[in-house]
Amino acid sequence: MINNYELYNPTKLIFGEDRIKDITQYLPRESKILFVYGQGSIKHNGIYQKVIDLLKGYDYVEFGGIEPNPKYENLMEAVKLGREYKIEFIFAVGGGSVVDGAKFISAAIPFDEDPWKLVSDKLDFNESIPLGTILTLPATGSEMNKGAVISNKSKGDKLALISEKLFPKFSILDVSVLSSLPKRQIANGIIDAFVHTTEQYITYPINAKLQDRFAESILITLIEEGPQFYNNVENKEVGANIMFSATMALNGVIGAGVPTDWSIHMIGHELTALYNIDHARSLAIILPVLYRIKIEEKLSKLVQYAEIVWQITEGNDKEKAIKAIYLTEKFFQSLGVPTKLSDYDVDLEYTIKVIKEKFAYRNMLNFGENGIISINDIDPILRGAY
């Protein structure tokens, strides 16, 4: 079977050591710039000062304080500032949350209606402010993709905004930014990249050999390098392998022309919206149980995953799949990440009720590849995860 596809990615990746200084080559001198960042990590690790020194001679305004799982309410403050200063370029320095926040700001500034509708109603938009980034946390792939995930505090929603107008013009991936990463964020990044890959790989076979080999390479690299990076963040070569893996996991390449799942992310986002569980940690809770429940539907790819990624040779197909899911869960746990919902302070019955209601409201009755996950599966998935 051949799925038609279009592959487009205009982001220039500027990768390596000592690359931050190169922003002066890529940031437009003639544009008014909005410089956005997160809640302070760049001030502690010296990146902020480095950037400020490089911005001498540029016309810019700053907006700091974008929070993890960026909130619409806070981002609208940046939109106000950007409109007031008539900014023409956005420069984001941070992790996925800052980059996603910058993408929302980029679409919202020129948008005439209520910008939340860009996210909630997926309204089309014609204009966006161009943006460039320095990525400080390898995880989401946002530095080289067209997506952003935005939360609305008052509505309790966490939803994606996707448009080709949101690709960064450039992203600087400088491995020297990694040394200040806390272990928790290192683990989160590895797991997020891992699950991005499985969402586009563990579905059903269509003989898309190269996409499969790309996905398997990313998974094997994360399994080999992840624990080393977790234990020694100073190892720049390992850090570089993790960084490129995370970017490649969600820049469009491995998902071109293959069936994709994304149900783990959809349910995970709800857990974050409800309980503020870190994004990757929500995925680590859902993946094992969802694969166990859908083992028959996903069996061929789970067996392929078991044999190629985990080198499992013993047992029948089902036993191989079960072993691979078990090893995946152990891998997450080896990075200090809990894999049970009961590891967090949650009300199970309430969680099931709210998530089912939200999916029903959004008319998401079936999802995953071929719609194999139904709204009725949410109950056993969350119970199994608890």
Segment 154-193, which members bind ligand NZQ (CB under 6 A)? 177, 180-181, 185, 188-189, 192
Q: What is the nearest approach in angstroms of Zn ion to the Cβ of residue 21?
A: 30
Which alpha helices (DSSP H) does 85-146 contain, by range?
96-108, 116-120
Nearest in space to 198 (alpha carbons), one of 308, 305, 330 = 305
Q: Find, among 90, 106, 107, 108, the residue nearest to 26 by Cα.
A: 90
The residue from 82, 94, 252, 255 that contacts ligand NZQ (CB under 6 A) is 94
Provide the 3-class DSSP secondary structure of residue 241.
Answer: helix
User: By CB under 5 A, is residue 199 in contact with Zn ion?
Assistant: no
Out of 11, 69, 211, 351, point to the residue binding ligand NZQ (CB under 6 A): 69
What one-character DSSP code corresponds to residue 194?
A: H
Please list the residues that pair with 158 across neighbouring strands.
151
Q: Residues 56, 145, 140, 271: is their CA dihedral positive or negative? A: positive
* Nearest Cα residue to 152 out of 36, 37, 69: 69
Question: Helix axis angle, 348-361 relative to 378-385, nearest 10°?
Answer: 150
200 belongs to the binding site for ligand NZQ (CB under 6 A): no
Compare residues 157 and 321 and give the one whose CB is closer to ligand NZQ.
Answer: 157
Find which of Zn ion, ligand NZQ, none residue 139 binds, CB within 5 to 8 Å per kind. Answer: ligand NZQ
The DSSP symbol for 371 reads G
Q: How far is the CB of 268 from ligand NZQ (least distance, A)?
A: 8
**By the rule CB under 5 A, 192 interacts with Zn ion:** yes
Among Zn ion, ligand NZQ, none, the one that 40 touches (CB under a kind-dependent 5 to 8 A) is: ligand NZQ
Which of 6-14, 98-106, 186-194, 302-310 is the region at the interface with Zn ion (rule: CB under 5 A)? 186-194
Nearer to ligand NZQ, 132 or 310 (CB): 132
Stretch in the footprint of ligand NZQ (CB under 6 A) among 38-46, 78-86, 209-217, 369-377: 38-46
* Nearer Cβ to ligand NZQ (70/259): 70
Strand pairing partners for 147?
162
* 179, 233 Cβ separation under 8 angstroms: yes
Q: Determine the Cα–Cα distance for residues 240 and 72; give it in Å rounded to an integer.
A: 32
DSSP state, residue 290? H
**Shortest distance (Å) from residue 158 CB to ligand NZQ:** 7
Stretch that binds ligand NZQ, among 9-17, 50-58, 104-112, 135-143 (CB under 6 A): 135-143
Cβ proximity of 149 and 109 under 8 Å? no
Compose the 256-275 pattern: x for residues touching ligand NZQ by CB under 6 A, - for all others: ---------x----------
Among the listed residues 41, 57, 290, 74, the one whose alpha carbon sits nearest the alpha carbon of residue 178: 41
Binding site for ligand NZQ (CB under 6 A): 38-41, 45, 68-69, 94-98, 100, 136-137, 139-142, 145, 147-149, 177, 180-181, 185, 188-189, 192, 250, 265, 279
Binding site for Zn ion (CB under 5 A): 192
